[in-house]
Amino acid sequence: MIPNLDRLREVAAKDAYVNEIRVFLDNLTNQDRSKALYVAKTLFFAPETHPRVRYAIAGRLGKLGPRQLFQQLLSYFILKKFPDTLSLIEALRGFADPEAVPALAEYYQEGTYRECLVIIDAVAQSQSPETVEFLSRVYNEQVDYIQKMDESEMLEIRQRASSALGKSIMRFDLG
């Protein structure tokens, strides 16, 4: 279906070409969404894809993928069947579906610092009462983290939650 897909997979294995792959996918999306989705899914799920490249691709899956892809990603997340959790969370963020909020909120306390930041961003994309509740708990430091966060990380988490909470409340009031 896509010429040189093997070459793309080779390039995706190195993080040196993350920007080029991003631009390539954007251009392909403008030309043919179904081909772009095919390439994005192929590279996202390829085990040899570099994590930085996978993360860049993840951000585009929500713009390209159907609901069925969201369900597949959410089920991988819930069942912990995908080794790159950070990219999986980023992919879920792109769909902005409130159905992901309970699973993301449940995982949050065991997440790494970077995962926690991406979860805050992901949850903030969806409009639901659970979103406001979760962001409030994070902001008010009502979460017991399994991994220790230092003071600067906690400050960044609270700032991110505060910003997301403000936007969520505004959207919820206007909606």
Please count the structural domains in the chain.
Answer: 2
147 in a domain, yes or no?
Answer: yes
Q: Residue 22: which H helix or E strand, with range?
A: helix 18-31
In terms of domains, do 52 and 111 share one?
A: no
Q: Residue 172: which H helix or E strand, with range?
A: helix 151-174
Whether the pLDDT of residue 172 is over 70: the answer is no
Residues spanned by the domain of 172: 96-175
Q: pLDDT digits over 34-90, tens only?
A: 999 999 999 999 999 999 999 999 999 998 999 999 999 999 999 999 999 999 999
Give the pLDDT of residue 1: 44
Give the pLDDT of residue 128: 84
109 in a domain, yes or no?
Answer: yes
Give the pLDDT of residue 33: 95
In single-letter form, the type of residue at position 104 comes to: L
Whole-number percent of the chain with pLDDT over 90: 85
State mean pLDDT over 24-37.
Answer: 94
Mean pLDDT over the full length of the chain: 92
Residue with token string 């040196």: 16
* CA within 13 Å, CB half, 75: 6
* CA within 13 Å, CB half, 135: 25
Q: Band of the pLDDT at 166, cuts 50, 70, 90?
A: confident
Whether the pLDDT of residue 2 is over 70: the answer is no
Give the pLDDT of residue 108: 97
Are 49 and 12 in contact, with CB atoms under 8 Å apart?
Answer: yes
Q: pLDDT digits over 98-115, tens only?
A: 999 999 999 999 999 999
146 in a domain, yes or no?
Answer: yes
Are 112 and 153 in contact, with CB atoms under 8 Å apart?
Answer: no
3-state DSSP of 77-108: HHHCCCCCHHHHHHHHHHHCCHHHHHHHHHHH
In terms of domains, do 5 and 47 share one?
A: yes
In terms of domains, do 116 and 42 share one?
A: no
Q: Cα dist. 37→30, 62, 110 in Å?
A: 11, 10, 31
b/e map 52-65, b = 16+ CB within 10 Å: bbbbbbbbbbbebb
In terms of domains, do 19 and 52 share one?
A: yes
Tell me how far apart the alpha carbons of residues 147 and 127 are, in angstroms, rounded to a whole number. Answer: 28
